[in-house]
Amino acid sequence: MEASVNTNEGAVYAQQGFGAQLEPQAPYGLLIIDLVNGFADPAVFGGGNIAQAIANTQLLLATARKQGWPVAHTRIVYADDGADSNIFSIKVPGMLGLLENEPNSQIVPELTPVAGELVVRKNVPSAFFGTSLAAWLTQRGVKTLLVAGAVTSGCVRASVVDAMQLGFRPLVVSDCVGDRALGPHEANLFDMRQKYATVVSREEAMSLLGL
């Protein structure tokens, strides 16, 4: 006889002890993941709610700058000759077109980094794997890392998991992250909320941090 399926996932997770409160602790930092032209364009890697995430991240970035938080941005950048092609680019061959000087790999104008903000170049999903980001954040004393960017189910999730594993407290700003498909977006927000991070809207985050 087939077992019945409990569709009340939230209750199941709560019963098993997931989703405990992860209180933010100062100092804070902001990580903006892959909000580049290619991910803003539905004809390239964009679509879904990424445009809204970019608009909301503008407000979040303004707050971070006003508060003097360390801010890091990431870009996916491959070598011009494809010498660093990898398993990620086998799965998504179009990634090899994100070269240093290609327009699609440039950070969107609305979020252009300013002096003192770190720009991390990567060619895998996580912002931390093989980069100096963790050391840069640690040097600046960051304990809680606010996370914005794209896409929720890919590079955002991978970076959040690594941030947690490295001892940072991830705070995913739910309306500042976006995905080309809303199903994966919502599913991954749920999963990160249960296992890895605080997940709240930008307004809720400001209230939580007393801003």
Q: What is the pLDDT of residues 161-194, one digit of tens each?
A: 999 999 999 999 999 999 999 999 999 999 999 9
pLDDT tier at 11 (50, 70, 90 boundaries)?
confident
Handedness of CA 73, 172, 164, 63 (dihedral sign): positive
Does the pLDDT at position 7 exceed 80? no
Report pTM.
Answer: 0.94
Nearest to 150, CA basis, from 96, 88, 75:
75
Return the ∠ at Cα 136 (arms to 123 and 169), rounded to 5°: 90
pLDDT tier at 5 (50, 70, 90 boundaries)?
very low
Domains of the chain, each with CATH number or no CATH: 24-208 (3.40.50.850)
Residues 189, 151 contacting (CB under 8 angstroms): no
Residues 52, 60 contacting (CB under 8 angstroms): no
Residues classed as catalytic: 155
Residues 147, 170 contacting (CB under 8 angstroms): yes
